[in-house]
Structure 1
Amino acid sequence: MTRTPYPPARRDDIVEEIHGIRVADPYRWLEDPESPETKEWLAAEDDLFRDHLASLPGRERFRARVAELLRSGAVGAPAWRGGRRFFMRRTAEQEHAVLYTVDPDGTERALIDPMAIDASGLTTLDSWQPDKEGRRLAYQLSEGGDEESTLYVMDVESGERVDGPIDRCRYSPVAWMPGGEAFYYVRRLPADAVPEGESQYHRRVYLHRIGTPADDDVLIFGDGMEKTNYYGVSVSRDGRWLTVSASRGTAPRNDVWLADIAASSPDRPALVTVQEGIDAQTGLYVGRDGRMYVFTDRDAPRARLCVTDPTTPSYETWRDLLPEDPEAVLSDFAILDDLDRPVLLAGWTRHAISEITVHDLATGEKLGEVPTPGLGSIGGISERPEGGHEAWFTYTDNTTPTTVQRYDARTGETTLWAKAPGSVEVGEVEARQVAYTSRDGTTVRMLVIAKPGEHGPRPTILNGYGGFGISLTPGYSASILAWVEAGGVYVVANLRGGGEEGEEWHRAGMLGSKQNVFDDFHAAAEHLIATGVTTPDRLAISGGSNGGLLVGAALTQRPDLYAAVVCSAPLLDMVRYEKFGLGATWNVEYGSADVPEEFAWLHAYSPYHQVREGTAYPATLFTVFDSDTRVDPLHARKLCAALQHATSGDKPILLRRETEVGHGARAVSRSVDLSADTLTFMAAHTGLSV
């Protein structure tokens, strides 16, 4: 191959002294997407990517197979309210999942179809919450991938809107009061009421009454608090207990308050502190039995479930119902009380594999286990709000599209409740969990997915995330299956920084310990090479968002170890990341460049600042989305230009850009195209014949 002729990109002599360190930023001009120079550069990068992709074999075969595998469709677990159930389903032909309800007489109706609202496919249903009686539905829509949700309320019986639009509701929880006439929710202050550049922050908790102007809503909580706070809010089934929680950005800790709104007032709840200033995460749930269930990692990094009386909710009164398990992480629970002996179902992940156990509700004594379809991932366990003997949960693994399973506590049996409506045949695939040793001696695990019986070095994709306590667990993926069926190996590494082994595992990969995440990733690659799974010239790495930071750091720290990189919606300039998108909410995870010690951590691994001229960098494809309001595409623009200037090798450095999509949900056809392009790129640069 010959060196790729890259679009011209001027290098400015911008050098700032930060905490005594000189920091160069030659491509700061690329931070402005509206400047004529940036637009010209982007147009040239678009042409370069299209020309390179057109020269690669196999794209149509990848595209066809990914589309075929996605024809399985999708289905979600039911939410029961007042005799109705609500659920999501996507058929093989649909671009977006549709929200349905099943009425008490068994009639199924579509409530919200994003394509019926907007045939372009750019409108997404961000969240929904029925009221306690199943008569009204609060739902949130956004357009073009910007995730700027607008809230509406629907009358379920007629399908008519009865309230909204209410703007500035991004990531808003909705907690209905009994009767469906009012709810608590979270809304940002208007842009003209906050300092310039802070319109994404400054949330507050409000009480909204149906049919009244949102600007007249009653302020409940949040005035004078940290600008980056996120708030949670919930109301108990009987309407008596209001819970409010607050966390600074994405911090793994929260403050929690509880109010008896029957004794005070919904408009002026007398909030009592349950937890404040404690380095732990805690959630509260008041059960039908009147006990308060406390789900917490306080003094229990793998989490435990406690009980207490909501009238005396302080920490000193908490009593363990499910103590911390030394190996498994507690993830969920549900109560089944229409039984002679009421039971508690507890969801766990053990080294990223899900399981459910059954316990006596009064004492926590383990009574047995819930049968599950296999070694995979279980979604949220749900029961009827009014009580019962049934529970529902979703299940998926590497070859099984998501199904909904029903557990009957009377019989102890699990049966298939619903499955994805499409039909698809999946080739024979084997998944095995492998333990390996990281640089500092820590044992880390990864899932290796391949065709059974094949040996010898093969083109391999190594994927990871390693941040924010997020766990990577087995799941059906059209992209993974298409790659493996074509003869490749796909590996998912459960790195520190994630939640696979609990909160201690998370904290071992955040702030000043972030380098552990990258070391775990490099060690995974080295283990795959040492055991003959692949070779450096056949190894690709991929990651998105925080995982984009991961692979950005990997390619700048160990360019010799990887043949190809796909870096999607990444954070890459870690010196200036807080200034853009939602960056200021993440300094509790990464640190702040305003603090000398934390700046030193960030600068030491910031991919943009670790590019070295004369280095042969691997083939790299950045994928970005113009409507991304979480991670600004400027990160990828700047590192792409820096690598194109610096590389001494002949492997291409490319930028793939999409408009009118963002960081999260997208139409299926857009996902198919993205997968086809990235798989084709990695196949071409690892030697996979398609």
Structure 2
Amino acid sequence: MEYPEVRRDESVVEDHFGIEIKDPYRWLEDPDSEETKKFVEEQNKITFKYINEYENREKLMDKLLEKYNYERFGCTFKRGKGENEYYYFFHNTGLQAQSVLFRQKTLDSEPVVFFDPNTLSDDGTVALSYISFSDSGKYFAYSLSKSGSDWVKIYITQIEDGKLVEIDKPLDWVKFSGITWTKDEKGIFYQRYPKPNISENKSAGTETDQNSNAMTNQNLLNLLMNLRLHNVGSTFFFKTSKDSPQYKIVKININDSEKKFIDVIPQNKHVIDTVLFCNNNSFVINYLYDAQLFYSVTSFINPGTVYRCDLRNNSCKEIKRNVVKNYNPDDFVVKQKFYPSKDGTNIPMFIVHKKYVVANIRGGGEYGETWYESGKLDNKQNVFDDFQWAAKYLINLKYTSPEKLCINGGSNGGLLVGACINQAPELFGCAVADVGVMDMLRFHKFTIGHAWISDYGDPDKEHDFKTVLNVPLHSLKLISQLQYVAGKSSKKPLLIRIDTKAGHGGGKPVKKRIEEATDKISFINKNINAEWCD
């Protein structure tokens, strides 16, 4: 395969703790430069040419359209009080770009549209990012994202006869933020960044310097936003479930250098529901004796079922079920197996017939904090080993063979795929890394990357730098290096698919998801020589 010629700037060389690091594709970090735009165009050209040559691509697209086109219900939730009390849920008829928020006065009454994001854009790329109702249900705040951007705008509205009336101007330069109403409903807590110092023709998607301004005391800020009940000066009160499943009330003085939480009202056998403050030093607590609970259940073979649980009589009832056309879950088998990793640790995996496997490798939360800790920082290689040993287990037991085995992961999972296909290419016939966290020497310099230092380490520190040194690169730089080094010798295509109107994945319209899945599966099928079965 002929690959585009990509300029290498051999002058970009940096010394990190006595180690010379060459970065000839540093210029690709600027997504707005004309040279980068040309790079994207040329890479997409050869990628889509390859994908479109898959003989069953149209049949695959039709099959995915059929499978996606089913009615979907989100989990019901209740908000508001008195006349403003309603049940809410998200619903999608099947191929709507974005799910619509409905509400109903009772579970038996006719639902009506409350908020429809599909009316906000022609192509469905404006998505509802976050929603928040005030306690009374009289006010509604929400954030919108465009084309998958991390940047969102927050809108503050009053609900009048089911209609939303804006009561303040939108809040700009918001990112990675929740929305929490104050108890008196006079305002909200949220997190924003200073306005980036950029020109009008430049995107704000790769800002770095602004991040540090918003991250000071982030853990405390997130706590303030999500759990705050009341404050008296610098002393804040919270309701928390930490070490207290029935909830308790704690306080903290944010001016105290030690910032220790002190129990004010410990948990007891009844669940704390709501808390009111009187005269700054008195509490009125409503304990939960009976209530109803809504929850949804999904699994590898269950597309989703919503239940209502009445805690007064310990009964649960199914209220909504997602049904996929021409799909019978009884046709599939789910089983959990354990296999030994490189260091002998038993790792669980789920095998879903037909030939679908998910390995619960270390670094996740399946077995508590110790399991998570054993897959981060200095232990990151355990994650890659676990994944590779899962492949060996499947191959040894004849579930598959290397030439038929494909691996796929996104974000942190994209890093996993990138590392494993480089460390053990003999185990896999195909690898697809979605929006991978690839540049482990510079990840902390872009968007939310600095928040991942707790997991990967800080490349600006010598020990952490040497730990992540042998992990892949920034996605555009990685594909350039792969094509440069292995393009002429590799029998497998080395391609990248770049969507300029999508971000990390959140809020992606259904049409884009189907197109992306079609392209991905087409690429996989071509590379593992999968047979088409109607």
Please give the TM-score of this superposition, normalised by the length of structure 2: 0.85
Task: Write the distance in 1 (CA, Å) between the matches of 2:513 and 2:319.
Answer: 28
Contact 2:44 2:497 in 1 (8 A): yes
Tell me whether 1:676 sits opposite 2:518 in the alignment: yes
1:51-66 map, 5 Å = 51-66=49-64
- Could you tell me which residue of structure 2 aligns to residue 6 of structure 1? 3
Task: Write the distance in 2 (CA, Å) between the matches of 1:506 and 1:552.
Answer: 20
- What are the Cα deviations for residues 31-58 of structure 1, in whole angstroms up to 9, with x where unaligned? 2333343333322211111211122222
Contact 1:72 1:401 in 2 (8 A): no
The partner residue of 1:438 within 335, 341, 350 is 341
- Could you tell me which residue of structure 2 aligns to residue 305 of structure 1? 245
SS at match of 1:125: strand
How far apart are residue 75 of structure 1 and its match? Answer: 1.6
- Could you tell me which residue of structure 2 aligns to residue 121 of structure 1? 124
Contact 1:91 1:421 in 2 (8 A): no
SS at match of 1:657: coil
Tell me whether 1:594 sits opposite 2:436 in the alignment: no
- Could you tell me which residue of structure 2 aligns to residue 645 of structure 1? 484
Contact 2:103 2:113 in 1 (8 A): yes
Structure 1's 542 and 598: CA in aligned 2 closer, same or farther, altered over 3 A? same
- Could you tell me which residue of structure 2 aligns to residue 180 of structure 1? 185
How far apart are residue 228 of structure 1 and its match? Answer: 9.3
1:316-335 map, 5 Å = 335=271
Task: Write the distance in 2 (CA, Å) between the matches of 1:202 and 1:227.
Answer: 10
Contact 2:125 2:507 in 1 (8 A): no
Tell me whether 1:72 sits opposite 2:70 in the alignment: yes
Contact 1:336 1:409 in 2 (8 A): no
Contact 1:439 1:523 in 2 (8 A): yes
Structure 1's 42 and 307: CA in aligned 2 closer, same or farther, altered over 3 A? closer
Task: Write the distance in 2 (CA, Å) between the matches of 1:654 and 1:235.
Answer: 42
1:586-665 map, 5 Å = 586-604=452-470, 606-608=471-473, 635-647=474-486, 648-663=489-504, 664-665=506-507
- Could you tell me which residue of structure 2 aligns to residue 233 of structure 1? 224
Structure 1's 111 and 440: CA in aligned 2 closer, same or farther, altered over 3 A? same
Structure 1's 87 and 201: CA in aligned 2 closer, same or farther, altered over 3 A? farther
1:409-424 map, 5 Å = 409-420=311-322, 423=325
Contact 2:338 2:347 in 1 (8 A): yes
Tell me whether 1:402 sits opposite 2:405 in the alignment: no
Contact 2:248 2:267 in 1 (8 A): no
Structure 1's 576 and 314: CA in aligned 2 closer, same or farther, altered over 3 A? closer
Code of the aligned partner of 2:346: T
- What are the Cα deviations for residues 566-601 of structure 1, in whole angstroms up to 9, with x where unaligned? 011112221122222222221121111210001000
- What are the Cα deviations for residues 475-517 of structure 1, in whole angstroms up to 9, with x where unaligned? xxxxxxxxxxxxxx11111111111111221111111111110
How far apart are residue 17 of structure 1 and its match? Answer: 2.0
Q: Is there any run of 5+ residues in structure 2 with no aligned partner, and where?
A: 199-206, 253-259, 274-285
Tell me whether 1:492 sits opposite 2:358 in the alignment: yes
- What are the Cα deviations for residues 281-306 of structure 1, in whole angstroms up to 9, with x where unaligned? xxx53xxxxxxx5325xxxxxxx637
Instruction: Determine which structure has the larger strand proportion and give its number.
Output: 1
Contact 2:406 2:429 in 1 (8 A): yes
Q: Is there any run of 5+ residues in structure 1 with no aligned partner, and where?
A: 205-224, 237-241, 244-259, 275-283, 286-292, 297-303, 323-333, 338-383, 452-488, 609-634
1:18-37 map, 5 Å = 18-37=16-35
Structure 1's 46 and 228: CA in aligned 2 closer, same or farther, altered over 3 A? farther
- Could you tell me which residue of structure 2 aligns to residue 91 of structure 1? 93
Instruction: Choose 173-182 or 565-574, whichever is displaced more.
Output: 173-182
User: Number of residues paired by the alignment?
Assistant: 494
Contact 2:153 2:170 in 1 (8 A): yes
Task: Write the distance in 2 (CA, Å) between the matches of 1:175 and 1:385.
Answer: 22
Contact 1:203 1:230 in 2 (8 A): no
How far apart are residue 27 of structure 1 and its match? Answer: 2.0
Code of the aligned partner of 1:202: N
Contact 1:133 1:179 in 2 (8 A): no
Tell me whether 1:202 sits opposite 2:203 in the alignment: no
1:375-524 map, 5 Å = 388-420=290-322, 423=325, 425-426=327-328, 428-451=331-354, 489-524=355-390
SS at match of 1:153: strand
Structure 1's 421 and 16: CA in aligned 2 closer, same or farther, altered over 3 A? same
Task: Write the distance in 1 (CA, Å) between the matches of 2:518 and 2:71.
Answer: 18
SS at match of 2:407: strand
Structure 1's 572 and 147: CA in aligned 2 closer, same or farther, altered over 3 A? closer
- What are the Cα deviations for residues 406-428 of structure 1, in whole angstroms up to 9, with x where unaligned? 11223322211223377553461
- What are the Cα deviations for residues 303-351 of structure 1, in whole angstroms up to 9, with x where unaligned? x6375454799467897879xxxxxxxxxxx9599xxxxxxxxxxxxxx
Structure 1's 66 and 387: CA in aligned 2 closer, same or farther, altered over 3 A? farther
Code of the aligned partner of 1:658: D
The partner residue of 2:36 within 16, 20, 38 is 38
Task: Write the distance in 2 (CA, Å) between the matches of 1:385 and 1:40.
Answer: 62
SS at match of 2:502: coil
Structure 1's 54 and 74: CA in aligned 2 closer, same or farther, altered over 3 A? same
Contact 1:336 1:388 in 2 (8 A): no
Contact 1:95 1:115 in 2 (8 A): yes
- Could you tell me which residue of structure 2 aligns to residue 375 of structure 1? none
Structure 1's 171 and 30: CA in aligned 2 closer, same or farther, altered over 3 A? closer
Code of the aligned partner of 1:270: S
Task: Write the distance in 1 (CA, Å) between the matches of 2:303 and 2:51.
Answer: 30
Contact 1:433 1:448 in 2 (8 A): yes
Structure 1's 46 and 310: CA in aligned 2 closer, same or farther, altered over 3 A? closer
1:348-363 map, 5 Å = none
